[in-house]
Amino acid sequence: MSRGHMILAAFFFNPQGDHRISWRHPHAPGHEFLDLDYYRRLVHAAERAKLDTIFIADHLGIWNGLGSGIAHYANPRLEPLSLVSALSAVTKDIGFMVTASTSYTEPFNTARMFASIDHISRGRVAWNVVTSALEEEAVNFGRDANIDHALRYERAAEFLDVTKALWDSWEDNAVVIDKKSGLFAHPDKVHYLDHEGKHFKVKGPLNVPRPPQGHPVIVQAGSSDAGRNLAAQHAEVHFAVLRSEAEGIAYRKDMNTRLAGFGRLPESFKLLPGILPIVAETTSEAEEKQQYLESLILDEVAVDLLSTWAGVDLSGYPLDGPVPDLPEEANYNGWRTWLALVRDKANQGLSIRQLARKIANTGSVPPVTGTPTQVADQLEAWFVSGAADGYNLMFPLLPDDWENFMRTVVPELQRRRLFKTEYESGTLRNRLGLARPENSFTVKSDDAVLRACWDQNAK
């Protein structure tokens, strides 16, 4: 894939849309959000439009905020790897970026599941690595509170090292299946890890041969300092919260510097900011769509969400009063990216009610509102300037906004030669322009041979 083609990922977190209370919209799905046919409809629309991938977010618990979450906020969702296993069987080309936590599972489980899906899908899966920042997740796994922020990222780095080594534990040509001789696999091409670190002890090898992509594509979304460093070390696709083109250019520059510190080139790293597209035939119609969704929000849901992001229970403060002092990011164990966003907006002088509604209605990412041409103009500007390699499309209402974008904006981007008209051959990794990783055990063996040759020559 050349730089001339932007990457487009269709995002879903809440099955009814990325607006916090889109389930109240008359066009939102009802109980069918638990049925495969609903997701198949969405994914087929995206595949017809030649989108690169579906991005599936996830949490390991129900967000209940201060008590109104279960009552008003539709956040039950299917387990994403199970869903993708089914969707990969009814699609041919589109990729799947699937969220899984490093905080509440083990490397062997994760390596095995993603290797399996990569084989089943013929190389179309990516792993969105998260560290799980919510206390409602922690309490489902035997903890009373969230894991310390620094410890989560330290654990995640070792988790990734072990998972990649497990994927590499079978060399690409290890499996022979020679029925005549009785040789199933070359034993010298299947490797034990014998890993023993601070957080994990794993012997290996994996009981699934190396995935078609070598490693499923690694995706990461944290934008704190620790999150950026983890992304620079391991991620190949980075989902970022950027509010302007200038911020995107500065963010990319910062990430290029961090990549260089890990010996990586900028082209090995794709930056996908999230956007909230609201598209209609006219600007006024697009604004009306946005206003209607905003009218559905409930103050208690908005304040609950703001409290979760801010790390402060705001329910006892006057709604039309100022936002109180917020925690310092350095000592905060929740979502530091979201806390920074809340702090930035609070500094603009918004009241609790105004800020809560703003966050509940637009989330963390900027809305892009207008006609198909106007929306394409904004996407083109960021892409051409280098502020983005593509976009994570976070549609307010499903299925309407999703299908409308595929039908109207994608053809406009294709007309401008900014987006492909056909899928290229190969795996998701190939299509994203990402190199296939070398097998770490093969590289170590080659290094050992070179050292032995050097020692012999030195004698």
> Has domain 7-169+196-297+366-442 been given CATH number 2.160.10.10?
no
Are 216 and 53 contacting, i.e. CB atoms less than 8 angstroms apart?
A: no
Chain segment 383-403, per-residue pLDDT in tens: 999 999 999 999 999 999 999
Q: Is the pTM of this model over 0.85?
A: yes
Q: How far is 324 from 330, CA to CA, in rounded Å?
A: 18
Chain segment 106-146, per-residue pLDDT in tens: 999 999 999 999 999 999 999 999 999 888 889 999 998 88
Residue for token digits 């034990």? Answer: 192
Residue for token digits 């330290």? Answer: 154
C-alpha dist (Å) from residue 344 to 133, 226, 240, 300, 337: 20, 19, 16, 22, 11
CA dihedral defined by 431, 259, 271, 326, rounded to 10 degrees? 150
Lowest pLDDT segment from 36-40, 51-55, 309-313, 376-380: 309-313
Mean pLDDT, the chain, rounded, equals: 90
Are 240 and 251 contacting, i.e. CB atoms less than 8 angstroms apart?
A: yes
Are 259 and 253 contacting, i.e. CB atoms less than 8 angstroms apart?
A: no
Chain segment 23-75, per-residue pLDDT in tens: 889 999 999 999 999 999 999 999 999 999 999 999 898 876 655 556 666 67
348, 248, 251, 345: which is closest to 305 by C-alpha?
A: 345
Measured in residues, the chain has a length of 459
Angle of helix 149-168 relative to helix 107-120, nearest 10 degrees?
50
The answer, yes or no, to whether the previous bond of 399 is cis (omega within 30 of 0) is: yes
pLDDT over 90 at 427, yes or no? yes
Q: How far is 392 from 396, CA to CA, in rounded Å?
A: 13
Q: Domain coordinates of the chain in residue numbers?
A: 7-169+196-297+366-442
Over residues 328-351, the mean pLDDT reads 74
Enclosing H/E stretch for 127: strand 125-130
| Amino acid letter for position 57 | A
Are 432 and 399 contacting, i.e. CB atoms less than 8 angstroms apart?
A: no
Q: How far is 38 from 195, CA to CA, in rounded Å?
A: 43
